[in-house]
Amino acid sequence: MTISGKLKETCFDLFMEQFPLISLEAKKFTRSFLTIEKYDKREFLFKSGEVQKEVGYICQGLLRKFYINEKGDEIITGFSKEKEYATDYPAFLNQRPSKYYIECLEPSIIVKIPYEKLQEAYRKYPDNERYGRLVAESVLTRETNRVESLLFESAEERYLNFLKQNKNIMNRISLTHLASYLGIKRQSLSRIRSNLVKK
């Protein structure tokens, strides 16, 4: 699928906005290895068992990350929207097969950063490595927060916190997907929503 030159420039600029303090030389090098790709709804960025060769930065769209448990159920562990990364970051850093699937919930435009070039940028430009750490911290913090919410919060608290933190995607995801992310059944989520309306 073709992407207009103007849209490409917009997406590249959006990605580079994250790195305001790196040198012009480092910016030019980073920009030189970025690619951009358009995905259809329900298309996969990658699937379980594959090695993620590129980390994805979302210019437009919404994606979900999930795994399939021993019962064959899809368990959603996260959603990624505009200006966020779609990745299994630990697997990407170690270039090992991922246990996850990342699927587009909407038509999406993704800026892609190849592993080998990213490592080269880290070696050449220390500032790039610092920003790389910040990206890793952001991705891992988001995933840790989800795990802790499952451990320490009630289903209603998890729903309310998700609502508070993700107002801009609530009308973009299905209740079935949201229930999976919250670790509850669809019926339980409907009950929670109904009870909150009555309060």
Residue 133 lies in a domain: no
The CATH code of the domain that includes 38 is: 2.60.120.10
Closest CA to 58 of 1, 116, 18, 19: 18
Other CB atoms closer than 10 Å to residue 100's CB: what's the count?
24
Domain that residue 100 falls in:
5-123
Number of domains in the chain: 1
Q: Is residue 18 part of a domain?
A: yes
Q: State the pLDDT at residue 1.
A: 54
pLDDT of residue 127: 82
CA within 13 Å, CB half, 45: 36
- Judge whether 183 lies within some domain: no
What is the C-alpha to C-alpha distance for residues 10 and 6, in angstroms, rounded to an integer?
A: 6
137 belongs to a structural domain: no
Look at residue 2 in the predicted model and tell me its pLDDT.
Answer: 67
> What is the torsion angle, in degrees rounded to the nearest 10, for the CA atoms of residue 20, residue 64, residue 167 and residue 184?
-140
pLDDT at 7 (0 to 100): 87
Kindly state whether residue 61 falls inside one of the protein's structural domains.
yes
116 occurs within a structural domain: yes
Is 175 contained in some domain?
no
pLDDT along the chain (199 residues), means of 10: 80 90 90 94 97 96 97 95 93 96 98 94 87 84 89 95 92 96 95 86
